[in-house]
Amino acid sequence: MSVPDLNLRADPAELTAALVDMPSVSHDESLIADAVEAALRAQTRGFEISRFGNRVLARTTRGKASRVILAGHLDTVPIAGNVPSHRTVTDDEGDVLHGCGTVDMKSGLAVFLHLAATLDDPAHDLTLICYDCEEIAAKYNGLGVIEREKPEWLAGDVAILGEPTGGLIEAGCQGTLRVRLSANGTRAHSARAWMGDNAVHKLGRALATLHGYTPRRVDIDGCEYREGLSAVAVGGGVAGNVVPDEAYLDVNFRFAPDRSPEQAFEHVREVFAADLDGGVLTAEVTDSAPGALPGLANPAAAALVEAAQGRFRAKYGWTDVARFAALGVPAVNLGPGDPSLAHRADERVPVAQIHEVTGLLRRYLAG
């Protein structure tokens, strides 16, 4: 298949539509990566450009006092009958672009590509990272591959991820921890239940603890993070006439970024101490990812907040900003689109919001 032409200098809403019309479901990003690489090589000046698998990297080295990283993923979730793109104009929503990836996150990517091609002399050196496989298991994430194999490309003073935020800065992100609470007992016929030890019953106090749990709120750099501790799965049982000898409760802890994953696990252990210390339950971490501090006090990040007229809030979900934070690079999420519309068959983004984010970042990058 021939590589489609992308006009990076076009209206970024039109560029978004062109990207959407190029299917790029995770693991199938070669065509869009080819198009982005060709366009960057032909339409930008002063960028060193590198192709690394289905990752396209570009950076300037103009000797500026600071470096800003613009990072966006090329892939989308599976298409749900919503490609090619189309636009509608209604009284309720105005001018809206529809299609898979319009929100997550080809509109954000279009803004970055457009600015790379149209900013003549930005106040910062720029690094543009277009990567693959963000929407699937973390082991495939292209940004993680770059971190392991080409970490020098992730050096910078501030990173901006084009995730959908409705045009607001969403700073940092919460961490996530999943813990399996397990109970053991003794199997028996339910007609002689007294001869067994019901493992499912041992989960009762833990569920009651969760029901009465009050999550913490914490302010960091003016961003309020709200933690949450929730049961997300429960299992146990052998048959309709058997007292079960095994049961489990999976708990997900979304924790503020002032805690490490180790501190988060210690908190979970404290919450369920009565059962854990008494040997009723055991606890095992099955998944964890650190959060990211907002870092808005960093001068480069503070200048971005100023360009956004002070419009920022905390990010509750986990995003790749955590990868940058772990490297000591303050990072924020900023992109067009309502994140609640991401991955939906009716995914859509207001055209005015694409223009708004483009203008905000142009002011910031131009200094």
Q: Which amino acid is at 126?
A: L
189 has which bridge partners?
Answer: 242
Respond yes or no: is residue 75 known to be catalytic.
Answer: yes
| Cα 190 off chain centre by | 47
- The answer to whether residues 256 and 218 touch, using CB atoms and an 8 Å cutoff, is yes
Q: What is the rounded CA–CA span in Å between residue 361 and residue 268?
A: 40
What is the dihedral sign for C-alpha 113, 114, 117, 123? Answer: negative
Q: What is the rounded CA–CA span in Å between residue 79 and residue 137?
A: 18
**Per the residue annotation, which of 29, 37, 125, 134 is the catalytic one?**
134
Which phi and psi (to 5°) does residue 105 adopt? -145, 45
Give the Cβ contact number of residue 123 at 10 Å.
15
**Per the residue annotation, which of 75, 170, 221, 320 is the catalytic one?**
75
Q: Which two tokens stand for residue 28?
A: 């199938």
The residues near 213 (Cβ < 8 Å, ≥ 6 apart) are 229, 271
DSSP-assigned letters across all residues of 321-332: HHHHHHTT--EE
* 3 state DSSP class of 53: coil
Tell how strand 242-243 and strand 94-98 pair up.
unpaired
Tell how strand 312-314 and strand 169-171 pair up.
parallel
* 3 state DSSP class of 355: helix
Burial of 289 (0-12, 13-18, 19+ CB in 10 A): middle
Give the active site residues: 75, 134
